[in-house]
Amino acid sequence: MRLEGKVGLITGAASGIGAATARFFADEGMAGVIVADINDELGEKTVAEINAGGGKAIYIHLDVSDPDQWQAAVKESVSKFGGLDVTMNNAGMSVPASRKKVEDTTLEIWNAMHAVNATGVFLGMKYSIPEMRKRGGGSIINTSSIFGIVGSGSGTAYHSAKGAVRTLTKAAAIQYAPEKIRVNSIHPGFADTGMTQELHAMPGERERRIGLIPLGRMGVPEDMAWGAVYLASDESSFVTGLELVIDGGTIIQ
């Protein structure tokens, strides 16, 4: 019951890391779990699973790049559960067209990647912080990536957006530490999720990536979700501005 009495909102929670985190939050006693996503069918399924297991969850349709939808989602969360203690800005996107070098990256792809992966995080913090202030503090968890720390041969827009999340997290951590609002980032490495399914289906790509991981296996959503549980709990009450890298050792080499 590490999260007993807390209320948490998770974006991109219909599947993958977000869904695993939502389930773990509920299992750890969270008083209210808000599953937010644009995939209504999978989002409702995640909520049904949580509630069937004795948790308390609701689903909210949320395009994280839309400030009006963010304000409505926070308002509904507070109305339903009485407050907001944790926000995990987890929604993200990566598509084959974005895996390009600088010269080959279109402005359309650049803007789309930043709208979800960076602006969505900014808006999530902007509209969650006032409610956390009312509670005397809170925890914001922003999902970045190892590619927000190191470079690669492609994925220009993705690197930029996830790098923005990394430093934006640190700025917010400093700004709101006096109000006991902690802001940390999680940096997943290579993992089997819905977002990587197409890439890992390419001949040899999954095996190639596993070969880059010192621990010798692909990550799973639950690996990242346990990190989120820690950052959401009071166990991390003296932790802010942290980059929690969960990558099997990939970028220590």
CA 70 from chain centre, in angstroms, equals 15
Catalytic residue of the set 59, 127, 158, 176: 158
Q: Does 127 participate in catalysis according to the annotation? A: no
- Per-residue tokens: 161: 């957006």
Strands (E), the chain: 7-11, 32-37, 57-61, 86-89, 138-143, 181-188, 243-246
Pairwise CA distance, residues 184 & 101, whole Å: 29
Number of neighbouring beta carbons within 10 Å of residue 119:
18
- Per-residue tokens: 60: 């909210």
65: amino acid identity, one letter: S
91: amino acid identity, one letter: A
Catalytic residues: 158
